[in-house]
């Protein structure tokens, strides 16, 4: 069920970024889309901003955002709408695993 | 010749404890990698300054980790702590896992690897191809979470496992003291002035630095880290926000240098296009830092490590950047 602006969505924070969220691994944010949810997250914890977004304000290439089990790049990117019971997860693109360098 | 003689001593000791284990030729190929001079990337440097790269991607299994994995496993085999009755278990983000898996196949040993679920599919496939068993942990806890999981498994059934613990096992850095560091001294005829190495388990940096400083205390050793806690430089750690490996000795660091993911990725591409070296992003980070060091010099020999082969990095991902 689609809801409005006021969807309350938990975002799971990866271990390396928890020093910027006071040690919390889950933060509840408001917003009707992934973009709004992320904006609320960096509004609550401004020090997170430079770690998630580049100077142009777009998500850094090695930061993956999952909506439930799906990478938002396979959905509607940051415009993806959020519904009740959705969960977001910030997943580092490497474990180190796969920063997929394109040589092509 | 040194390589063969050293191998024979180790092999005899292994056989004394484990008569069922036989060391195969592929294991004898670990180490004694070439030291290559970068030519095109360094075109702006004076002729009196050179940047040399240790081609660790040419090791069996495609990475520097063959050295430390074999040292930890051979010590286990020599002491009897590792045998056909045990399962080798460790946490890994990829390369050490591949090295364990390759060695396990060659030695007919069972290998169980614990890693964050976001390790790339191609790496998981390589480990499985060598017959290793994989357990995946929460990607958001990175390798620290995988380490905690291994400790939990081993605590429950300690007799079943051999746990080398690459982050805390002195054999990890000793492999580099005895082999990588020694080789760099021989290959530069003792002329190295600067050593640059990124920190992962910190084994390469710690072992090579200790060996170099024993020879010449004035060799400057530069440790490389990602500039941010969340980054895309595979296999290396941002130590302020990670579990610091027990083998790390901060007193060995002459200079702490930070490299961004974008810089490392751009240099990784340049190494392929301009030097014919298809390597991973940690190698790119090492070369970025080495060039920064070299640009400050009027004279000197800067040595760094090309940690692993780049073919693992070619798998398509929605996060991949388009090339310039």
Nearest residue of chain A to residue B282 (CA atoms): A96
pLDDT at B18: 74
User: Are A98 and B261 inside 8 Å of each other by CB?
Assistant: no
Choose the weakest-confidence range: A45-54, A91-100, B199-208.
Answer: A91-100
Domain A8-92: which CATH number of 3.30.360.10, 3.90.1010.10, 2.30.40.10, 3.10.20.30: 3.10.20.30
User: Are A14 and B142 inside 8 Å of each other by CB?
Assistant: yes
pLDDT at B21: 74
User: For B289-300, b where at least 16 C-beta lie within 10 A, e where not — what string?
Assistant: bbbbbbeebeeb
Confidence of residue B3 (pLDDT cuts 50, 70, 90): low
Looking at domain B9-63+170-314, its CATH architecture is: 3-Layer(aba) Sandwich (3.40)
- pLDDT tens figures, B223-235: 999 999 999 898 8
- Interface confidence, given as ipTM, is 0.80
CATH top-level class for B65-162? Answer: alpha beta
Confidence of residue A99 (pLDDT cuts 50, 70, 90): very low
Average pLDDT over every residue of B58-75? 97
Sheet holding B220-226, edge to edge: B35-37, B49-55, B300-306, B194-198, B220-226, B255-259
Phi then psi for residue A10, to 5 deg, are -75, 135
User: Are A97 and B320 inside 8 Å of each other by CB?
Assistant: no
User: Are B319 and A61 inside 8 Å of each other by CB?
Assistant: yes
Of the candidates B54, B65, B124, B237, the residue annotated as catalytic is B65
Distance from CA of A78 to the nearest CA of B (A): 14
- Residues in a beta bridge with B223: B197, B256
Tell me: pLDDT of B181 over 90. yes
Chain A interface includes B317 (CB < 8 A): yes
Confidence of residue A18 (pLDDT cuts 50, 70, 90): very high
**Beta pairing class for B87-91 and B255-259:** unpaired
Of the candidates B63, B93, B197, B282, the residue annotated as catalytic is B282
Confidence of residue B324 (pLDDT cuts 50, 70, 90): very low
User: Are B319 and A73 inside 8 Å of each other by CB?
Assistant: yes
Q: Which of B317, B322, B323, B324 to mutate to test the interface with A (most CBs of A within 10 A)?
A: B317
Task: Spell out the residues 6+ positions from residue B136 whose beta carbon is closer than 8 angstroms to its own.
Answer: B114, B115, B116, B117, B119
- pLDDT tens figures, B247-304: 999 999 999 999 999 999 999 999 999 999 999 999 999 999 999 999 999 999 999 9
Tell me: pLDDT of A1 over 60. no
Place of tokens 């000791």: B13
**Is B254 within 8 Å of B224 (Cβ atoms)?**
no
- pLDDT tens figures, B111-170: 999 999 888 888 999 999 999 999 999 988 888 899 999 999 999 999 999 999 999 999
Tell me: pLDDT of B91 over 80. yes
Chain B interface includes A88 (CB < 8 A): no
Helices B121-129 and B95-107, axial angle in degrees (round to 10): 10
How far is residue A57's CA from residue A50's CA, in Å, rounded to a whole number? 9
Confidence of residue A103 (pLDDT cuts 50, 70, 90): very low
Chain A interface includes B322 (CB < 8 A): yes
User: For A60-94, b where at least 16 C-beta lie within 10 A, e where not — what string?
Assistant: bbbbbbbbeeebbbebebbebbbeeebebbbbbbb
How far is residue B21's CA from residue B314's CA, in Å, rounded to a whole number? 36
Indicate the residue of A51, A62, A92 with minimum beta-carbon distance to B139. A92
Phi then psi for residue B238, to 5 deg, are -95, 100
B62: left (phi over 0), alpha (psi -120 to 50) or beta: left
Nearest residue of chain B to residue A104 (CA atoms): B323
Choose the weakest-confidence range: A21-30, A55-64, B3-12, B313-322.
Answer: B313-322
What ranges do the domains of chain A cover? 8-92
* Averaged pLDDT score across all residues of chain B: 92
Tell me: pLDDT of B318 over 50. no
Confidence of residue B319 (pLDDT cuts 50, 70, 90): very low
Q: Is B282 a catalytic residue?
A: yes
pLDDT at B37: 98
Task: Spell out the residues 6+ positions from residue B189 whose beta carbon is closer than 8 angstroms to its own.
Answer: none
Chain B interface includes A79 (CB < 8 A): no
- Residues in a beta bridge with A17: none
Rounded (10°) CA dihedral B174, B176, B179, B185: -120
- Chain A positions touching B272 (Cβ under 8 A) are 103
Computed over its alpha carbons, how large is the radius of gyration of chain A?
Answer: 13
**Is B191 within 8 Å of B301 (Cβ atoms)?**
yes
User: Are B93 and A95 inside 8 Å of each other by CB?
Assistant: yes
What ranges do the domains of chain B cover? 9-63+170-314, 65-162
């Amino acid at each position: 069920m689609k809801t409005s602006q006021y969807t309350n969505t938990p975002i799971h924070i990866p271990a390396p970024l928890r020093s910027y969220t006071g040690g919390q691994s889950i933060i509840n944010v408001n917003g009707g889309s992934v973009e709004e949810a992320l904006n609320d997250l960096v509004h609550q914890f401004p020090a997170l901003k430079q770690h998630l977004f580049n100077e142009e304000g777009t998500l850094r290439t090695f930061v993956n955002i999952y909506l439930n089990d799906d990478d938002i790049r396979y959905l509607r990117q940051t415009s993806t709408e959020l519904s009740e019971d959705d969960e977001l997860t910030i997943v580092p693109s490497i474990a180190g695993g796969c920063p997929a360098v394109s040589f092509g | 010749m040194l390589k063969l003689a050293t191998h024979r001593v180790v092999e005899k000791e292994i056989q004394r404890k484990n008569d069922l284990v036989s060391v195969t030729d592929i294991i004898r190929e670990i180490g004694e990698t070439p030291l290559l001079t970068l030519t095109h990337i360094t075109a702006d440097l004076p002729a009196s300054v050179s940047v040399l790269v240790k081609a660790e991607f040419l090791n069996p299994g495609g990475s520097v980790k063959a050295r430390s994995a074999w040292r930890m496993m051979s010590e286990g085999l020599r002491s009897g702590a590792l045998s056909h009755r045990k399962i080798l278990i460790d946490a890994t983000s990829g390369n050490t896992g591949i090295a364990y898996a390759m060695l396990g196949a060659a030695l007919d040993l069972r290998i169980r690897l614990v890693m964050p679920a976001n390790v790339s599919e191609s790496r998981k496939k390589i480990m499985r191809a060598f017959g290793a068993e994989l357990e995946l942990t929460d990607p958001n806890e990175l390798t620290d979470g995988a380490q905690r999981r291994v400790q939990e498994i081993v605590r429950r059934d300690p007799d079943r496992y051999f746990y080398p613990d690459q982050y805390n096992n002195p054999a990890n850095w000793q492999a580099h003291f005895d082999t990588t560091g020694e080789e760099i001294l021989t290959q530069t005829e003792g002329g190295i002035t600067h050593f640059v190495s990124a920190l992962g388990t910190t084994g390469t940096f710690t072992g090579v630095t200790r060996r170099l400083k024993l020879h010449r205390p004035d060799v400057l050793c530069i440790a490389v880290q990602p500039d941010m806690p969340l980054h895309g430089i595979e296999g290396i750690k941002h130590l302020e926000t990670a579990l610091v490996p027990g083998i790390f000795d901060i007193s060995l660091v002459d200079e702490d240098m930070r490299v961004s993911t974008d810089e490392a990725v751009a240099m990784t591409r340049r190494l392929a296009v301009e030097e014919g070296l298809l390597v991973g992003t940690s190698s790119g980070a090492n070369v970025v830092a080495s060039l920064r060091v070299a640009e400050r010099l009027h004279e000197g020999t800067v040595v760094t490590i090309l940690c692993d082969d780049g073919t693992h990095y070619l798998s398509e991902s929605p996060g991949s950047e388009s090339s310039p």
